[in-house]
Amino acid sequence: MTPPPATVTRFAPSPTGNLHVGNIRTALHNSLWAEKHGGRFLLRIDDTDAARSEERFVDAIRADLAWLGLSPDAEVRQSERFALYQARFDALVATGRIYPAYESAQELDLKRKIQLGRGLPPVYDRAALALSDADRARLAADGVAPHWRFRLDHASPIEWDDRVRGPQRFDPATMSDPVVRRADGSWLYMLPSAIDDVEMGVTDVVRGEDHVSNTALQLQMFEAMGAAPPRFAHAALLTGAEGKLSKRLGSLGVDHFREQGIEPQAVVALLARLGTSDPVEPFATRAPLVEGFDFARFGRAPARFDEGELAQLSARIVHQLPFDRVADRLPAGMGAAEWDAVRPNLTRVAEAADWWQVIEGPIEAPAAADDRDFLIQAADEAGRINWIADPWHVLTGALKQATGRKGKPLFLPLRRALTGLDHGPDMAQLLPLIGRERAVARLRRAAEA
């Protein structure tokens, strides 16, 4: 018995702009599915549109995937595969599945308007198939170059079992024969993509539901090439926080998330679960996301993307990050002990610099006229106590016994004098980092303010 082929997925962006959150979600789904099944995740740069494709966007795509921790196992570029497309194209022309059509854009637009005016679907009427060899020769002599269409087989419905949407059925007679090549010889998306999926051994195509009708057309292309089609999964599209499709989602990408101080793993954790029956959780690693990834758990309703939810998730992930995951983003000199002390109070890693300033100083403590004697006493006590074990509890215990203060009147003046703030990390962790010398000096300075 022949074993099933290893799972191969692909992410196929066009380098005509930066990746947005919808693209990122598609890339992530492909990566997680391949990883779960021990397969391969491929990056295909769809750069057949030479006029709009730019190398800077290719570099940006690679950088964005790297920031998110997505590592393709291989990369191919469509612009380097034109000979392959030509060979498949010629074979399909020879069998009559691709044919030349000569209508101008204006003529096609007029035909559609007439059909709509008659209450008919605007489906291409296949007039080009009625042309004789003499007709085509005359058009060529007049300098009219054809565009090329893939001829759909109307004999039977197009059907497949989608991993997300379930059983799908399309009547090819209600669909126009798709244009696969322009009159100038350039390629449109449909045919090269199907050819690549065959040649690259793609077993699973994972993309948004806006490609469902494309899938119906491409399934006949796979059949015409004598190739087994991949399995398809079409995830519901994202909506904005306002509850409808949002143009803003098209502008949200890695650059925006990075500027906002969002952790890449937060983007991964949110987009992996968004639209599924599983709760969004602050997983600081990919492992549980890979293990639980299952298209059967995806719903068909649009998934709501909320930047506020992402920010909260990111903060919860920051609270889990070990020092070695953030060391290169912390101020020089800040170590594991300092990170562990301030981490619970951060929403972004960059905020650690503010607390490093609190530890290292100098700080500006608010005036403390009502607590002057208390702070002088605290400075004296801080200079006498043992700092080896737990100086905060030793200091506050001694002051409580000596002054009778407790609760906020005891703790708040000390926190203000030592940090300049009314709130912050646990002082039991922070005070040893400030150290005896700085602590005594700050207490005396606050008493003199």
State CA 239 to chain mean position distance: 14
Q: What is the pTM of this model?
A: 0.91
What confidence tens digit (pLDDT) does each residue in 284-311 have? 999 999 999 999 999 999 989 999 999 9
Whole-angstrom distance, CA of residue 275 vs CA of residue 259: 26
The CA distance from 96 to 359, in Å, is 77
* Binding-site residues from annotation: 247
- Note the pLDDT of residue 248: 73
pLDDT for the residue numbered 4: 66
Instruction: Give the separation between CA 241 and CA 307, rounded to whole angstroms.
Output: 8
- Measure Cα distances from 237 to 212, 281, 299 in Å: 12, 21, 11
Q: Is 75 helix (H, G, I), strand (E, B) or coil?
A: strand
Percent of the chain having pLDDT more than 90? 92
pLDDT for 3: 60
Instruction: Show the low-confidence residues of the chain (pLDDT under 70).
Output: 1-4, 242-247
Binding site listing for ATP: 247
In angstroms, rounded to a whole number, what is the distance separating the alpha carbons of residues 162 and 229? 12
Per-residue pLDDT at 244: 57
The C-alpha angle 46, 48, 53, rounded to 5 degrees, equals 80
Domains of the chain: 8-76+194-237 (3.40.50.620), 84-181 (3.90.800.10), 361-448 (1.10.10.350)
pLDDT for 250 equals 77
**CB 26, CB 207: distance < 8 Å:** yes
pLDDT given at position 251: 80
28 burial (CB, 10 Å; 0-12 / 13-18 / 19+) is: buried
pLDDT digits (tens, 9 = 90+) for 210-247: 999 999 999 999 999 999 999 999 999 999 876 655 66
What's residue 366's pLDDT? 84
